[in-house]
């Protein structure tokens, strides 16, 4: 009785427990099926999909759809496959994540260890910027990107994602550094260490976990973005989400479902991999993005 | 000799300036690209802008036009249906999953990531998967027919009265696991001694749940509501991928309305006014929430 446990387990009978397990398993099936069926059907030839049952395993296993989706499928007007768009996404995501994370770390450091009057209001204004409906900035952003000569370029998309990513990356580091002992910073200041030296030597070495959280969050968000990609990119910069949407919706004639599925899996793979490898950090990021403090 | 203190003074002043200089670029960018742009779009909503921005003020004309457009009223009605069901069902599923997972379940470590993985996917991927699954000709209905249940009928995605509910299904699939994670964190934070004491006093399961556990989850309810409602107002990708706003206009939401009026119908003034309404809806939820969150910390 006195053993303290972590859960809120109630006293439940056998029947109740069986029902609970049944519910949990059914829900697991609900989450697994849509994506799982998609994976299985991407390994079938088209005739087995249109003529057969989506729930059955392939009679003939084939990677043809995967090959077609990667390099020959018609996307928009060009039969390029997803490959160029996959690289567009990579070229956009890597710099955008790096820049917004570095800025977020520096901002979080200033906002917690070098506080000044009005810093909370400024942080609030930064934070609100993550939640705005981006429709409110689409029109002026299109104009400004045009004026800067960045319309339809990857650099333009990087700029957009950095701007609207700073709020979250700042939030992560601010909340993390808020509980970092300020005495250490004070002591270093007494010893004559400057702003960057303190950051580099004292805060950075213990910022590993939050950096991982921030990178994963930014990576997932920016990789999965569709609105900005659809609004501001052209062929040379369109991200993979836009390409997937074009692939699924543009095909004239026969709908090659298996190719669509393979394309969807290419679009999902990077974020899924990150989730599988670093799921713990992913959850932490989700949580600190919502439940602050 | 006199220059040494002056130099030290200069150094401290520089030291004091550096933090602000470091913060400045981010703030400048936010003020320009967020608040500057909000003001710009707000201004456009009072002009007669069509295909290009115009600075000719026309007062509230766009807003009165907007609310007379059946396209817009359909969009906000759809948003009301979508948002309430999406928030309600996600919360219900998230709460049940979290509650049941917290009953010393074997295999919890395996189940939790299964519930949560859709959150890592793009809405375009989710839309692609569900679009096909819900397609009566090839998806679920077709499968049931093949399995011999020939009277099974499920064509909501093609039916303009029901299509909006398919958007709810796909959206709930995507984010209910996330709500589960929030509630689970809340449950794990509850002090077990209180539960033990209540059990000693002979409280039944249901009573304990309602009187002790649920009230302690208040912060999780609030966060879930805020996050889900802002996601609902911003919903765009999923509708584009799942239904494209159709059949007809059956699944148009404010976000798709804004996009098509601004960029394909060349009614920028009306598009801008719809964006302003979206922003105000979100601000009404987020501003008090952020205010309370940031104040508590002091």
Please tell me if residue A279 touches chain B, with a CB cutoff of 8 Å.
yes
Chain segment A2-11, per-residue pLDDT in tens: 344 456 666 6
Measured distance CA(B254)–CA(A223) in Å, rounded? 24
The set of residues, in sequence order, having a beta carbon less than 8 Å from that of B157 and lying 6+ positions away, is B131, B134, B135, B136, B163, B166, B242, B243
Measured distance CA(B150)–CA(B144) in Å, rounded? 7
Tell me what pLDDT residue B232 has: 92
Best residue in B16, B22, B32, B122 to probe A by mutation, most A CBs within 10 Å?
B122
Tell me what pLDDT residue B103 has: 85
Q: Is the pLDDT of residue B106 over 60?
A: yes
- How is residue A140 written in tokens? 């002026």
Low-confidence ranges of chain A (pLDDT < 70): 1-12, 251-253, 286, 288-293
Chain segment B15-52, per-residue pLDDT in tens: 778 888 999 999 999 999 999 999 999 999 999 888 88
Measured distance CA(B253)–CA(B238) in Å, rounded? 11
DSSP secondary structure string, A93-149? HHHHHHHHHHHHHHHHHHHHHS--TTHHHHHHHHHHHHHS-THHHHHHHHHHHHHTT
Average pLDDT over residues B200-227: 84
Tell me what pLDDT residue B78 has: 94
Average pLDDT over residues B227-246: 89
Measured distance CA(A276)–CA(A283) in Å, rounded? 11
Question: What global pTM score does this model have?
Answer: 0.89
Tell me what pLDDT residue B49 has: 86
From the CB of residue B130, how many other CB atoms can be counted at a distance below 10 Å? 25
Residue contact B262–A53, C-beta within 8 A:
no
Tell me what pLDDT residue A292 has: 47
Asked whether the beta carbons of B199 and B166 are under 8 A apart, the reply is no
Taking the CA of residue A36 and the nearest CA in chain B, the distance in Å comes to 10
Tell me what pLDDT residue A36 has: 92
Measured distance CA(B90)–CA(B179) in Å, rounded? 7
What stretch(es) of chain A map to CATH 1.10.3720.10?
84-290
Nearest to A107 by CA among A184, A209, A193, A210: A210
Please tell me if residue A192 touches chain B, with a CB cutoff of 8 Å.
no
Average pLDDT over residues B95-100: 93
ipTM (interface pTM)? 0.89
Instruction: From residue A213, give the alpha-carbon distance in Å to each of A97, A259, A276, A279, A281.
Output: 12, 33, 14, 10, 5
Please tell me if residue A292 touches chain B, with a CB cutoff of 8 Å.
yes
Query: What are φ and ψ of residue A75, in 5° steps?
Result: -125, 120
Domains and CATH numbers, chain B: 72-297 (1.10.3720.10)
Q: Residues of B with CB below 8 A from A264's CB?
A: 124-125, 128-129
Tell me what pLDDT residue A1 has: 35
From the CB of residue A3, how many other CB atoms can be counted at a distance below 10 Å? 6
CATH, range A84-290: 1.10.3720.10
Please tell me if residue A258 touches chain B, with a CB cutoff of 8 Å.
no
What is the average pLDDT value for chain B, to the nearest integer? Answer: 88
Nearest to B167 by CA among B71, B234, B243: B243
Measured distance CA(A253)–CA(A256) in Å, rounded? 9
Q: Residues of A with CB below 8 A from B289's CB?
A: none
| Strand stretches in chain A, DSSP E | none
Instruction: From residue A284, give the alpha-carbon distance in Å to each of A209, A211, A281, A291, B112.
Output: 10, 12, 5, 10, 14
Residues within 8 A of B (CB atoms), A 71-100 only? none
Q: Which residue has the higher pLDDT, A254 or B179?
A: B179
The per-type count for chain A, helices as H runs and strands as E runs, is: 13, 0
Taking the CA of residue A241 and the nearest CA in chain B, the distance in Å comes to 6
Best residue in B19, B89, B141, B190 to probe A by mutation, most A CBs within 10 Å?
B19
Q: How confident is the model at residue B6 (pLDDT cuts 50, 70, 90)?
A: low
Tell me what pLDDT residue A289 has: 57
Three-state secondary structure call for residue B74: helix
Measured distance CA(A278)–CA(B216) in Å, rounded? 30
Q: Which of B223, B275, B294 sits opposite A136 (nearest CB)?
A: B275
Average pLDDT over residues B169-179: 93
Best residue in B124, B212, B278, B288 to probe A by mutation, most A CBs within 10 Å?
B124
What would you report as the CA-atom Rg of chain A, rounded to the nearest whole angstrom?
24
Measured distance CA(B173)–CA(B178) in Å, rounded? 10
Among the listed ranges A40-44, A287-291, B3-7, B278-282, which one has the minimum average pLDDT value?
A287-291
DSSP-based helix, strand, coil % in chain A, nearest 5: 70, 0, 25
Q: Which residue has the higher pLDDT, A282 or B61?
A: B61
């Amino acid at each position: 009785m006195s053993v303290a446990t972590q859960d809120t387990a109630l006293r439940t009978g056998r029947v109740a427990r069986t029902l609970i397990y049944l519910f949990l398993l059914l829900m697991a099936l609900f989450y697994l099926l849509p994506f799982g069926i998609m994976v299985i059907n991407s390994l079938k030839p088209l005739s087995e999909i249109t003529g057969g049952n989506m729930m059955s395993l392939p009679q003939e296993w084939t990677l043809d759809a995967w090959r077609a989706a990667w390099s020959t499928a018609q996307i928009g007007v060009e039969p390029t496959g997803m490959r160029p768009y996959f690289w567009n996404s990579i070229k956009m995501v890597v710099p955008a994540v790096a820049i917004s994370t570095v800025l977020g770390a520096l901002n979080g450091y200033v906002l917690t260890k070098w506080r000044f009057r009005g810093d909370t209001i400024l942080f609030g204004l930064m934070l609100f910027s993550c939640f705005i409906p981006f429709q409110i900035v689409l029109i002026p952003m299109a104009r400004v990107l045009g004026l800067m000569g960045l319309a339809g370029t990857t650099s333009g998309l990087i700029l957009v994602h950095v701007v609207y990513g700073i709020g979250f990356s700042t939030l992560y580091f601010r909340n993390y550094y808020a509980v970092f002992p300020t005495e250490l910073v004070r002591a270093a200041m007494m010893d004559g260490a400057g702003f960057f030296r303190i950051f580099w030597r004292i805060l950075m070495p213990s910022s590993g976990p939050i950096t991982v959280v921030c990178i994963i969050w930014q990576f997932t968000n920016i990789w999965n973005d569709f609105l900005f990609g659809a609004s501001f990119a052209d062929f040379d910069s369109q991200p993979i989400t836009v390409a997937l949407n074009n692939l699924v919706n543009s095909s004239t004639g026969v709908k090659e479902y298996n190719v669509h599925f393979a394309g969807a899996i290419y679009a999902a793979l990077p974020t899924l991999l990150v989730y599988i490898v670093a799921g713990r950090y992913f959850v932490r990021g989700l949580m600190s993005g919502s439940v602050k403090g | 000799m006199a220059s040494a203190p002056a130099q030290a003074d200069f150094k401290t002043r520089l030291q004091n300036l550096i933090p602000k200089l470091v913060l400045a670029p981010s703030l400048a960018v936010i003020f320009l690209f967020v608040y500057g742009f909000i003001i710009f779009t707000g201004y456009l909503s009072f002009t007669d802008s069509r295909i290009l921005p115009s600075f000719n003020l026309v007062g509230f004309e766009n807003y009165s036009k907007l609310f007379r457009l059946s396209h817009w009223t359909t969009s906000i009605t759809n948003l009301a249906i979508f948002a309430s069901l999406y928030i309600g069902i996600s919360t219900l599923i998230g709460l049940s999953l979290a509650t049941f997972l917290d009953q010393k379940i074997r295999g919890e470590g395996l189940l939790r990531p299964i519930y949560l993985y859709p959150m890592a996917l793009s809405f375009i991927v989710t839309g692609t998967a569900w679009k096909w699954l819900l397609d009566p000709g090839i998806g679920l209905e077709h499968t049931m027919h093949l399995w011999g249940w020939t009277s099974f009928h499920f064509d909501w995605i093609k039916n303009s009265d029901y299509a909006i509910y398919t958007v709810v299904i796909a959206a709930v699939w995507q984010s209910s696991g996330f709500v589960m994670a929030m509630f689970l964190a809340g449950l794990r934070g509850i002090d077990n001694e209180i539960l033990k004491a209540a059990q000693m006093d002979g409280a039944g399961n249901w009573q304990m749940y309602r009187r002790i556990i649920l009230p302690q989850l208040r912060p999780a309810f609030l966060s879930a509501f805020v996050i889900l409602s802002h996601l609902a107002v911003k919903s765009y990708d999923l509708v584009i991928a799942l239904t494209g706003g159709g059949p007809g206009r059956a699944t148009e939401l404010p976000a798709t309305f804004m996009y098509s009026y601004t960029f394909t119908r060349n009614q920028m003034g009306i598009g801008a006014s719809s964006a302003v309404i979206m922003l105000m809806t979100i601000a009404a939820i987020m501003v008090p929430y952020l205010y309370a969150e940031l104040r508590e910390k002091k």
